[in-house]
Structure 1
Amino acid sequence: MFNALLAWLKDEKVFLKVQSGTGDNLLEEDIREGFTDYCLWSTFRPESIDTDGVLDMECLDSGMALFRENCTPGEALESSYRQAFGTDFDKDDIAVLMEE
């Protein structure tokens, strides 16, 4: 399991932050449908990134991607990209800047 990753999307000119889920956001209906894991994602413009901890970070959009088994960082990134932009994942559009 990964904690978080931050990627730069060249075409969209935004950051995509993806965090692994802790398990407490799965609804009973999600569990009944076989989902066991999830990740949370948010998109940010460069000027919205808080580097000193003083300003609130305003995200453009955010969501949650569900998985039926433990997701890898790559799967989380791909699913988050597809949800955030409604297009197929384009590995050439992404530069992963940080992964923990």
Structure 2
Amino acid sequence: MLQLIEDLAGEKINALAFTSQPQVGNLLEIAAKASKESPLRECLASSSVVVASVGPVCTRRLKNEGIKVDVEPDHPHMGSMIQALAEYLQIQES
């Protein structure tokens, strides 16, 4: 998990998908314990990382934590989220 946080902050990862609202808290807690919460929040607020949320409950948690959400599917399922994320990234590349 710490490697993920470092890679996000180092702009080695351009998209991050959240599949549950507890996942948001867990990531932030791990980052805080490693004194990396601020860099994590900065990169998740930037345009360099696309943030995808599986559905409205997860999106609400992300937004409550001050994290932007770029992608949320119409139907709250992982497959729908991956499809929406792929479409979003394809549009961004063109």
The TM-score, its normalising length taken from structure 1, stands at 0.30
Greater helix percent: which structure?
2
Q: Per chain length, whose mean CA-contact separation is higher, i.e. which structure has more relative contact order (CA < 8 Å, sep 6+)?
A: 1
Q: Which has the higher strand share?
A: 1
